[in-house]
Amino acid sequence: MSAPVSFPVVPAGSLDIDLVGDFSCPWSFLGTRRLARALEHLQGVSVRELRWHPLRLKRPEAPAPRDWRDHLATRLPKGVSVEFAESSLAEAGEALGIHFDFTKLAGMPDTTAAHRLVKLAAAEGLHGRVLDAIFRAYFEQGRDIGSIGELARIGAECGLPALLLEELSDPKAAYDEVVEDERRLLLLGVNTIPNLLFNRHVLVPGPADEQIYVKALDQALFPAAEVETRQ
């Protein structure tokens, strides 16, 4: 008989949040903004820890899509056109203060270094700011987020210290951490993005709207009340 899995106890009124995504995924960008909106509904709740987990859409072992539109086409349900998807994403983005400009996107970037930058920024407590800045740089400005130089500029704009940004030029800095984090997710069967996990036990897989995040947050913060509701 398997031993029960135990999770650490999280104090009432606090949240641990795990986000799984990639910087070339527009739904991951929407998810981070919808999460921010959902958190605004809560009073007296602090986020104890925000953890970003990479699941790269362009991995060495995976076939590389030729460009952004080819990649997007592979992620759409049958019958949904790329043009319709881009229009829908743009409309959803505007409601969240995101100004998607898909005309600026060309090839799919290798986001490994971008994920490394987030890992490095976590030591300064600035990874949330860096996350949003990388998404904006790619989807709004069409900047090359696969470029170390461009990422260093993004990090500097977010207030990261020069010494930390120098580490980014070392291709091994935080690389093993990114790869191991991703490997663990794949072994757990996580193969789609975005995914959000609240307090290590309430999972919201795939794209979701703000109200679903609000409900998930309630379940994570008040699990006993959720059980009583079901009875």
CA distance 122 to 145: 18
Position 58 scores a pLDDT of 84
Position 49 scores a pLDDT of 85
**Beta strand pairing call for 14-21 and 46-54:** parallel
Give all domains of the chain, ordered by start, each with its CATH number.
Answer: 14-62+110-226 (3.40.30.10)
Position 40 scores a pLDDT of 85
Position 228 scores a pLDDT of 45
Position 14 scores a pLDDT of 75
CA distance 146 to 166: 16
Position 62 scores a pLDDT of 66
Position 63 scores a pLDDT of 66
Q: Dihedral angle at the C-alpha atoms of 204, 99, 95, 156, nearest 10 degrees?
A: 60
**Beta strand pairing call for 46-54 and 195-198:** unpaired
Say which residues have a Cβ less than 8 Å from residue 145's Cβ, sequence separation at least 6: 23, 109, 111, 113, 114, 134, 137, 138, 151, 154
CA distance 214 to 196: 12
Alpha-carbon torsion 16, 22, 23, 24, what sign?
negative
Position 39 scores a pLDDT of 87
**DSSP labels for 164-227?**
HHHHHTSTTTTHHHHHHHHHHHHHTT--SS-EEEETTTEEEES---HHHHHHHHHHHH-HHHHH
Position 107 scores a pLDDT of 81
- In the chain (231 residues long), the average pLDDT of successive 10-residue segments reads 36 78 96 91 78 89 73 90 96 97 90 96 93 97 96 97 94 94 92 90 89 90 58 46
| Contact assessment for residue 182 and residue 54, using Cβ atoms and an 8 Å cutoff | yes
**Residue 217 token pair:** 């947050």
**pTM of the predicted protein model:** 0.87
Alpha helices in the chain (DSSP H): 26-39, 68-74, 82-94, 112-122, 127-139, 148-157, 162-168, 175-187, 210-221, 223-230
Q: What angle do CA 36, 138, 86 make, to 5 degrees?
A: 80
Residue type, 86: E
